[in-house]
Amino acid sequence: MRVSGFIFLTILFLILSSIDMQVNLFLIDFFIVSNFTYLFLCYLCFVNPQKINSLFAAYIGFFIDLHQNVFFGLHATLFTLTVLLINYNYFRLRMFSTFQITIAFSFFTAFFVGFKSILLTTMNFQYLLVFLSFFSAFVSYLVIPSLGKLLTNKIKL
pLDDT tens figures, 55-92:
999 999 999 999 988 888 899 999 999 999 999 999 98
Give pLDDT tens digits for 109-135. Answer: 999 998 888 888 777 788 888 898 899
Among the listed residues 121, 128, 48, the one whose alpha carbon sits nearest the alpha carbon of residue 90 = 48
Helix (H) and strand (E) counts for the chain? 8, 0
**Where are the chain's structural domains?**
3-155
Write the DSSP string, 78-131.
HHHHHHHHHHHTHHHHHTS-HHHHHHHHHHHHHHHHHHHHHHH-GGG--HHHHH
Give pLDDT tens digits for 21-60. Answer: 999 899 888 888 888 999 999 999 999 888 888 999 999 9
Neighbours of 82 (CB within 10 A): 22
